[in-house]
Structure 1
Amino acid sequence: MLAAFERMFDPARLLRSTQYKSSTDLPTASETVGRLARVAWPSILESFLVSLVSMADTVMVGTLGHEAIASVGLVNQPRLIVLALFMSLNVGVTAVVSRRRGEGDREGANHTLRQVLLIAAVMSIVLSSLAVVFAEPILVFAGAQPDTLADAVTYMRIVIGGIFFNVITLTINAAQKGCGNTRMSMYTNVTANIVNIIFNYLLINGNFGFPKLGVMGAAIATVLGYVVASLMALISVRRSEGFLYLSFKESFLPDRKNFSSVINVGSSAAVEQVFMRIGFFIFAKIVASLGTMNFSTHQICSNILMLSFAFGDGLAVAASSLLGQSLGQKRPDIAIVYGKTAQRFGLMIGALLCLGFILLRRVIILPFSSEPEIIALGSQIMYIIAVMCPAQISQVIFSNCLRVAGDTRYVAIVSLVGIGLGRTVVAYFFTFTLGLGLIGAWISFLVDQGCRLILCGLRFSKGRWTTIKL
């Protein structure tokens, strides 16, 4: 067993097909796996717990009926479109901070954090204000039905109205991840979700004397979680002894070196995020047109798929942090080793999830709904999710490594082809032309993940991203 482990994760073997196959002074398999595991486990645990809490959130909202699940689900894509710009900036933050960490440039990392925080704060206020004002027409365009529109508008105005706090947390956590401090992100997100669940219980159905607010209560609970997380994140960068330190006495104005690096990475990531979110939006609109019951089933299955994404995201965060630091230390060979090691780990986890989702498909669906139609349709989709797991985890790891290395333009093009065009066109064809309904939409999801895995995997293997300067 130990010999098989050494062969699978041996750095020299992982570099055999690259331009660094003659590299020396490499860490052992145990050292690379050990370091990756130390950085990865908080991110994996964070993503996994957040996914579980999101599932619990859906179960609690589901007590109000499948219309309530659909109302909340309709808001997800508009909310993520608003967040797309900040997610793009944060790709740049993680990339630049990880490089500065590898170079030992503490002030460069801190100035990067300060300037992006200022820009993100101002832009979040502007974008959330627009989303709140135009909530109803946005949701009508998203496919809201008469039985879901009122609740969806209420939920959107409250959640996006409080997104400022979420943006602050995301930006600080992106910088922390660049330093390899994945625990802080875990603490803030897990705490926020615990707060969310507690107030969901109190406000959705009016327990312990609290008012029964239904979907509005779920929205308020979400924003309260945002507020708590932002306070924790700010406190984490106010300790002067840490590598990251947010000083309000220092300049928040952009400097050419660090800000241009963030923009160079973030601009391509922004294009990617826009294409992704528009693609997701159109995909959700296609599914919403199938009716409330189908959309509720889709929302439930999307929550389950997040468990797979949790493992991929956690490993991707760890791999990209160590990859960026290795590039900053002028060790592109070790950067490749971390990326490939994470992908192999992810493939093993994906295979286990595939087996579990097939064997327990009905058991997993049951807590979300007792409606026979949803259980039957959801159980069929679970087969697709099971097959998708290994591909999705590997794709997420390769894509994130390329982004943090600065190869964001290529990833943006792949996202445009895979999500912006491929998934939506294929979804329409399978859903309506072939008449497969929701099953057809999910088949397009599988096709998209497979194509992006192949394209990003080939790009990573060629290794050109190791020469990009930030």
Structure 2
Amino acid sequence: MITLLKRLFNVNNMLKPQQRLGEIPSTSSMYLSTYRIAWPSALEAVLISLIGSVDTIMVSSLGPGAIAAVGITNQPKYIVMSVIFSLNLGVTAIVARRKGEKDIMGANRCLKQSIMLSSMLTVAASALGYIFADPLIILAGAGRDIITDASVYFRIIMIGNVFYCIGLTITAAQRGSGNTRISMVTNLTANLVNICFDYLLIGGRFGFPALGVAGAAIATAIGNIVSLIIAVFSVTRRGGFLSLLEYGEWRFDLKTLKNLASLGSSALVEQVFMRIGFFSYAAIVAGLGTIAFATHQICMNVINVSFAFGDGLSIAASSLVGQSLGAKRPDIAILYGKVTQRIAFCVSAVLFVVFMLGRHGIVSLFTDDNQIIALGAVILIVIACTSPFQTSNVVVSGCLRGAGDAKYVALVSFISIGVIRPVVTWLLCFPLGLGLLGAWFSLMFDQVTRLTLNYLRFSRGKWTKIKI
């Protein structure tokens, strides 16, 4: 068994002889390089996920209706932010490639132009979200009992969103350069600020007013402002690879814009269809009632921990793959992809055990409602089985995006999330009568489908030949 594991994790067994273009790093150095970039991203994502869970726990003191009101805003919020997410995927890929090419001027041109684009796009998108808050919340499936709270929460979030999105663009560039610690510090600090103000504003403590759901939104907005301040500070120091004070002017460059548009447009298609699919999925689940949706929201917080580990590894994979391709070493790019996949497998195995054994205790952290705890514990069995597929898919997708193969990932997301998941969810929830359990079976089927299609693409290696 030990011999088999050694063979599985040894980088010398991950490449065919004809794929090697030169000397490859040792197994220990490959895993160490991955670890150095991955751990800040993974820790950041996991802590943010856990902090988000604490946020939900604090809101849960107001009752299941408050959990549902906050949860129902997630997909409308992400639809508004989809254009920024797509831009940032392009930013990370381009900066990583320029880092590998040692093109510091090109990387900083990308940074400055992406900040200008992000500022314009996020103001426009957030304004539309604020204006059309009520229709978006209703379209998301909100019941009459939660529409008012949900709309108030969403409008405040849209104001803070302007600061949040610009900061995200800066940290996306930092990730591409391999500086994942900045992103970790930025988001962790902002979320700790969020928790502090949650404590003060939701229930009203130390003389602060008790604002309930609105207080949770204000706390998030304050955290967003803090995140932007830290992100800007990270690129205002002279001598770094990325610096707003050096390396070029604040003006648009056609070549850089074309690269951002090429990668960003594919990512935008992916994000739009992903968000429409998630939106439809959440709306179907909301139709099951407030208790079912509150349970669903709690379980989404739990599965986000699994996603967070995968997302951290995905960021490392995207950066290392992009830098390796920029250095004209596609063989090492393939190795980094396979190394991160193996790490993801180990992480998901641990999560499987934790979710299976601790399911009742995990759900009871969020609520004392026996009905929600019983239903949530059953859903966590599905989450435990889904975790290995989800984590692996996030990592493989990150490898493809880091190489610039965003169009394929977008197509897979459109087919699986935009079409398959909503249809299967509706069939399982209503005609087959599985209720909330059917929605989570559908999610697992979606993850298996995407992993299969993305891994086939990765294994064929065409992504190593893409120019950006």
Q: TM-score, normalised to structure 1's length?
A: 0.98
Q: Write out per-residue CA displacement over residues 260-304 of structure 1, whole angstroms, 9 at most, x where no aligned residue.
A: 111111110000000000000000000001111111000000000
Paired residue for 2:119, among 118, 121, 124? 121
Paired residue for 1:167, among 144, 158, 165? 165
Paired residue for 1:246, among 244, 247, 251? 244
Between the aligned partners of 2:269 and 2:348, the Cα distance in structure 1 is 29
Q: Which amino acid aligns with 2:324?
A: S
1:270 aligns to 2:273 (yes or no):
no
Q: Match of 1:7?
A: 7
Between the aligned partners of 2:205 and 2:2, the Cα distance in structure 1 is 53
Paired residue for 1:330, among 328, 331, 341? 328
8 Å Cα contact 1:9/1:33 also seen in 2: no
Secondary structure of the 2:55 match is helix
Count of aligned residue pairs for this structure pair: 468
Q: Which amino acid aligns with 2:153?
A: Y
Specify every segment of 5 or more residues in structure 1 that has no aligned partner in the other structure, as ranges.
none
Specify every segment of 5 or more residues in structure 2 that has no aligned partner in the other structure, as ranges.
none
Per the TM alignment, residue 7 of structure 1 is displaced from its structure 2 partner at its CA by: 2.2
Paired residue for 1:261, among 259, 262, 266? 259
Q: Write out per-residue CA displacement over residues 89-141 of structure 1, whole angstroms, 9 at most, x where no aligned residue.
A: 00100000001001111111011011111111011111111111111111111
Q: Which amino acid aligns with 2:255?
A: K
Map 1:283-302 onto structure 2 (within 5 A). Answer: 283-302=281-300
Per the TM alignment, residue 438 of structure 1 is displaced from its structure 2 partner at its CA by: 0.5
8 Å Cα contact 1:6/1:29 also seen in 2: no
Q: Match of 2:316?
A: 318
Between the aligned partners of 1:257 and 1:327, the Cα distance in structure 2 is 20
Between the aligned partners of 1:104 and 1:6, the Cα distance in structure 2 is 35
8 Å Cα contact 1:275/1:416 also seen in 2: yes
Q: Match of 2:235?
A: 237
Paired residue for 2:218, among 212, 217, 220? 220
Per the TM alignment, residue 196 of structure 1 is displaced from its structure 2 partner at its CA by: 0.4
8 Å Cα contact 2:81/2:125 also seen in 1: no
Secondary structure of the 2:72 match is helix
Per the TM alignment, residue 435 of structure 1 is displaced from its structure 2 partner at its CA by: 0.6
Between the aligned partners of 1:19 and 1:114, the Cα distance in structure 2 is 40
Map 1:63-462 onto structure 2 (within 5 A). Answer: 63-247=61-245, 250-462=248-460
Q: Which amino acid aligns with 2:365?
A: P
Between the aligned partners of 1:33 and 1:160, the Cα distance in structure 2 is 40
Q: Which amino acid aligns with 2:395?
A: I
8 Å Cα contact 2:105/2:248 also seen in 1: no
Paired residue for 1:48, among 21, 46, 53? 46
Q: Which amino acid aligns with 1:274?
A: V
8 Å Cα contact 1:135/1:156 also seen in 2: yes
Secondary structure of the 2:430 match is helix
Q: Which amino acid aligns with 1:137?
A: P
Between the aligned partners of 1:244 and 1:293, the Cα distance in structure 2 is 48
Between the aligned partners of 1:395 and 1:27, the Cα distance in structure 2 is 25
Between the aligned partners of 1:159 and 1:247, the Cα distance in structure 2 is 31
Between the aligned partners of 2:322 and 2:285, the Cα distance in structure 1 is 38
Per the TM alignment, residue 259 of structure 1 is displaced from its structure 2 partner at its CA by: 1.9
- The RMSD of aligned alpha carbons is 1.3
Percentage of pairs with the same residue: 51
Between the aligned partners of 1:371 and 1:412, the Cα distance in structure 2 is 39
8 Å Cα contact 2:317/2:402 also seen in 1: no
Per the TM alignment, residue 372 of structure 1 is displaced from its structure 2 partner at its CA by: 1.1
Per the TM alignment, residue 251 of structure 1 is displaced from its structure 2 partner at its CA by: 2.8
Between the aligned partners of 2:323 and 2:252, the Cα distance in structure 1 is 23
Between the aligned partners of 1:344 and 1:64, the Cα distance in structure 2 is 42
8 Å Cα contact 2:403/2:464 also seen in 1: yes
Per the TM alignment, residue 329 of structure 1 is displaced from its structure 2 partner at its CA by: 0.1
Per the TM alignment, residue 248 of structure 1 is displaced from its structure 2 partner at its CA by: 8.3
Pair 388,19 (structure 1): closer, same or farther in 2 beyond 3 Å: farther
Between the aligned partners of 2:22 and 2:330, the Cα distance in structure 1 is 12
Secondary structure of the 1:162 match is helix
Between the aligned partners of 1:150 and 1:351, the Cα distance in structure 2 is 42
Secondary structure of the 1:319 match is helix
Q: Which amino acid aligns with 1:115?
A: Q
Q: TM-score, normalised to structure 2's length?
A: 0.98
Per the TM alignment, residue 250 of structure 1 is displaced from its structure 2 partner at its CA by: 4.3
8 Å Cα contact 1:94/1:177 also seen in 2: yes
